[in-house]
Structure 1
């Protein structure tokens, strides 16, 4: 994987995480949560999406390495 591909993948993950966090914040505000509570939910969602992307990357790398050995 080249540097350009890595940077584009990171940018895509950040954009998707920001969109999902904005949606979580909007849903929290529609549920009459306070601004700090909505921001907290958005931050937790942002972190969860980035963690999920990291886990999927690790699994993908492990699977590729496993296929090369077999």
Structure 2
């Protein structure tokens, strides 16, 4: 069964929300690492790891939700 445009729009917005959540987690992690005394490259590495982990978990949860609803 083909997906309706409404379903695709909701999925796109959910992916956008997941990316925004990952960016916010990365910013918070980078700032906290920097205030803890980490160098700028170390803080960026921690922020990148937080971004990747958050986006991975959010995408996995979205895939699980889509699978459960279809």
TM-score by length of 2: 0.79
Count the aligned residue pairs.
Answer: 65
Structure 1 segments (4+ residues) deviating >3 Å: 61-65
Q: Among residues 15, 21, 24, which one is paired with 1:16 in the alignment?
A: 21
Question: Which residue in 2 is equivalent to 1:53?
Answer: 58
Match of 1:32, SS?
Answer: coil
Which consecutive unaligned segments of at least 5 residues does structure 2 have?
1-5
Which consecutive unaligned segments of at least 5 residues does structure 1 have?
66-70
Q: Which has the higher contact order (CA 8 A, sep 6+)?
A: 2
